[in-house]
């Protein structure tokens, strides 16, 4: 057995030991009861996936590039689970994505992106005028069964029974309607067309909505949907554990067995009236396909959540970002939804954390809650770890003092 495989299997044993421990079981129970709206305590989690330096290249030992990717993922999970006492959950199974193929991924108009040094992703906005909408082409999606099985077999041989392997579809429960409208036409057109070309806005919103629904219906009929009721993101940093999402009797997963994550960050500067007119009906049509909706991300919601809940009736968790008025959101959410509290990234991401601002933010959230247990505290969009676990541990300790 070569050194790379020995390394992977040693890490797999650590993963399995952690994933099957009592600590993970307690965390899963806390997430589940919270999302059942019968919380035993709040939960808190730090998102480390976007920290480019959380696992450094010097920590990786495998020489084979494919094995190095598996090693990085195993090491990442183990490090998070051992460094921090938050509610991060290591799943018992190692989940690998189905290989998904797409024709006309660029919508047939050359939609493309470039990434800047500061992690920003910039689209090229290929639709310049309403007449360009006729250039949009239908996208088609399919699962490459042979490639997916080959990947699963490779991982099963690699782990040698230490960790079970499950294929899944990830990030498919995020429609991102307003994002793709913005990516295709740009913000200036989005603002002007709602006044000057309202039918063009309705057309492109409808096109993207129908594209997403057709994609999901195709995956549903082909039997490739997978449940997202474990440590997958149900929404903005929130894990999907909930008791009444289970596989159907015939073992086929349906959209009605799943969470959907609906947000509309690009429209927060649009008036609530225009948001309701041009976007909410499409978001409702998508939400109605699923069992539960996690609503929101970084956008503020205090001026429009009353409209959102009139349209989308299956909301379970609501993202309360730093840009939402927490007192208003607490009154709007009452005890009907999980208060998914997002913390301000810059308070912790800088070399010397702004702990005074952290304390005030936690106090403001706590004061806004109708039920002090019906909340998930989530730190996301922190891009640098800086090899400083203590500042994250201090924040976790502060949250735990609240309960």
- pLDDT tens-digit readout, 281-337: 999 999 999 999 999 999 999 999 999 999 999 999 999 999 999 999 999 999 999
56-88 pLDDT, tens digit per residue, is: 999 999 999 999 999 999 999 999 999 999 999
pLDDT for residue 158: 97
Secondary structure (H, E, C), the chain: CCHHHHHHHHHHHHHHHHHCCHHHHHHHHHHHHHHCCCCCCCEEEECCCCCCCCCCHHHCCCCCHHHHHHHHHHHHHHHHHHHCCCCCCCCCCEEEECCEEEECCCCCCCCCEEECCCCCEEECCCCCCHHHHHHCCCCEEEECHHHHHHHHHHHHHHHCCCCCEEEECCCCCCCCHHHHHHHHHHHHHHHHHHHHCHHHHHHHHHHHHHHHHHHHHHHHHHCCCCCCCCCCECCCCCECCCCCCCCCCCCCCCHHHCEEEECCHHHCCCCHHHHHHHCHHHHHHHHCCCCEEEECCCCCCCCCHHHHHHHCCCEEEEEECCCCCHHHHHHHHCCCCEEEEECCCHHHHCCCCCHHHHHHHHHHHHHHCCCCCCEEEEECCCCCCCCCHHHHHHHHHHHHHCC
Residue 249 has pLDDT above 70, yes or no: no
What average pLDDT does the structure give for the chain?
96
Q: For residue 148, what pLDDT band results from cuts at 50, 70 and 90?
A: very high
Calculate mean pLDDT across residues 179-195.
98
Structural domain spans, the chain: 3-401
pLDDT, tens only, 356-402: 999 999 999 999 999 999 999 999 999 999 999 999 999 999 999 99
Residue 43 in this model has a pLDDT that exceeds 70: yes
pLDDT attached to residue 238: 97
pLDDT of 119: 75
Fold adopted by 3-401: TIM Barrel (3.20.20)
Average pLDDT (244-271) is: 90
Average pLDDT (344-355) is 94
pTM of the entire predicted model: 0.97
């Amino acid at each position: 057995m070569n050194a790379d495989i020995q390394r992977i299997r040693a890490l797999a044993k650590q993963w399995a030991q952690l994933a099957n421990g009592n600590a993970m079981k307690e965390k899963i129970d806390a997430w589940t009861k919270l999302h059942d709206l019968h919380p035993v305590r709040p939960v808190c989690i730090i998102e480390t996936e976007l920290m480019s330096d959380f696992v450094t290249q010097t920590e990786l030992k495998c020489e084979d590039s494919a094995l190095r990717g598996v090693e990085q993922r195993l090491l990442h999970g183990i490090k998070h689970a051992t460094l921090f006492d938050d509610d991060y959950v290591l799943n018992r199974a190692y989940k690998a994505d189905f290989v998904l193929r797409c024709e006309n991924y660029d919508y047939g108009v050359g939609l493309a992106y470039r990434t800047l040094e500061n992690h920003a992703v910039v689209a090229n906005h290929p639709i310049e005028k309403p007449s360009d909408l006729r250039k949009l082409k239908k996208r088609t999606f399919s699962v490459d069964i042979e490639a997916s099985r080959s990947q699963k077999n490779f991982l099963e041989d690699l782990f040698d029974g230490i960790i079970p392997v499950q294929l899944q579809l990830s990030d498919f429960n995020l429609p991102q309607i307003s994002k793709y409208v913005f990516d295709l036409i740009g913000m200036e057109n989005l603002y002007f067309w709602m006044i000057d070309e309202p039918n063009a806005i309705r057309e492109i919103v409808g096109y993207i909505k129908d594209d997403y629904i057709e994609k999901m219906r195709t995956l549903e009929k082909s039997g490739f949907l997978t449940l997202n009721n474990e440590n997958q993101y149900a929404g903005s940093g929130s894990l999907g554990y909930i008791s009444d999402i289970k596989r159907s009797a015939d073992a086929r997963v349906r959209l009605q067995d799943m969470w959907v994550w609906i947000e509309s960050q690009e429209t927060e500067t649009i008036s609530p009236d225009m948001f309701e007119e041009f976007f909410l009906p499409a978001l409702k049509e998508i939400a109605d396909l699923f069992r539960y909706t996690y609503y929101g991300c970084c956008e503020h919601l205090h001026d429009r959540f009353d409209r959102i809940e009139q349209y989308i009736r299956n909301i379970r968790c609501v993202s309360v970002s730093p840009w939402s008025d927490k007192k208003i959101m607490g009154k709007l959410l009452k005890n009907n939804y999980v208060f998914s509290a997002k913390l301000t990234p810059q308070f912790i991401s800088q070399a010397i954390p702004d702990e005074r601002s952290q304390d005030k933010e936690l106090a403001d959230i706590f004061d806004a809650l109708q039920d002090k247990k019906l909340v998930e505290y989530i730190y996301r969009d922190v891009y640098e770890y800086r090899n400083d676990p203590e500042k994250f541990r201090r924040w976790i300790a502060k949250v735990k003092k609240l309960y």
